[in-house]
């Protein structure tokens, strides 16, 4: 896809406390300050660093059925036209918060097109993606977002194409060999390897 998309945050009653209250000996009073300090220490978030996203290397991402709808806007007439868009990324490499790979996308009845992907992800999970093709570059924005217990790329983008603008956002999800989506992608109805065979742009390759 020449885009990304747009791509998306306790107190328990203590059983031990109950047992102490029901015992013969009274529990020693607890300083409110000690409770606050202990609570703050327990809920402090871990320090984020770029290594947390190193698992992105050699992963595949696609648009699930619920997020296929996109729009085309014609500035001349003001028309907004619904369209479907399937995009697949193969993130082939990752280093120090930067990643790269290959992208293939298909808008509506148009033929599949491809672009090289270079992106960055902050330690907190914010994404910036650049899709590069012979017709130019498109930038997309997003965020690594937990959805139903799994990481998604919540991406969004708008790009100009032939005098019109194409907009799309999606919770892009991971796919792997053996999964139903790997064998048949929503909308295009072909396997991930077959769809990615349409890739014809230069392959991003680290130097040094």
Could you list the pLDDT tens digit for every one of the 208 residues in the chain? Answer: 444 443 333 333 333 333 333 333 444 454 555 444 444 444 555 568 989 999 999 999 999 999 999 999 999 999 999 999 999 999 999 999 999 999 999 999 999 999 999 999 999 999 999 999 988 899 999 999 999 999 999 999 998 877 899 999 999 999 999 999 999 999 999 999 999 999 999 999 999 8
The predicted pLDDT at position 46 comes to: 52
DSSP the chain: --S-----------HHHHHHHHSSSPPPP--HHHHHHHHHHHHPPPPP-GGGGGGGTTEEEE--GGG-EEEEE-TTT--EEEEEEEEEEEEEEEETTEEEEEEEEEETTSPPEEEEEEEEE-TT-EEEEEEEETTEEEEEEEEEEEETTEEEEEEEEEEEETTEEEEEEEEEEEE-TTSHHHHS-TTT-S-HHHHHTT--SPPP----
The predicted pLDDT at position 9 comes to: 37
The predicted model scores a pTM of: 0.77
The predicted pLDDT at position 175 comes to: 98
């Amino acid at each position: 896809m020449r885009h990304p998309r747009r791509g998306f945050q306790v107190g328990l009653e203590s059983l031990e406390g109950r047992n102490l209250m029901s015992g013969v000996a009274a529990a020693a009073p607890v300083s409110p300050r000690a409770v606050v300090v202990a609570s703050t220490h327990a809920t402090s978030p871990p320090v984020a660093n770029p290594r947390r996203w190193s698992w992105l290397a050699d992963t595949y991402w696609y648009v699930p059925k619920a997020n296929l709808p996109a729009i085309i806007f014609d500035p001349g007439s003001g028309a907004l036209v619904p369209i479907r868009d399937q995009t697949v990324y193969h993130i082939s490499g990752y280093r120090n918060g930067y990643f790269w790979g290959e992208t293939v996308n298909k808008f509506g009845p148009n033929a599949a097109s491809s672009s090289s992907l270079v992106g960055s992800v902050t330690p907190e999970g914010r994404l910036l993606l650049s899709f590069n093709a012979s017709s130019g570059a498109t930038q997309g924005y997003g965020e690594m977002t937990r959805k139903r217990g799994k990481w998604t790329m919540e991406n969004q983008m708008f790009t100009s194409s032939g005098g019109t603008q194409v907009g799309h956002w999606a919770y892009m999800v991971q796919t792997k060999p053996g999964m139903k989506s790997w064998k048949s992608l929503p909308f295009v109805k072909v396997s991930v390897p077959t769809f990615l065979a349409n890739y014809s742009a230069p392959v991003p390759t680290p130097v040094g």
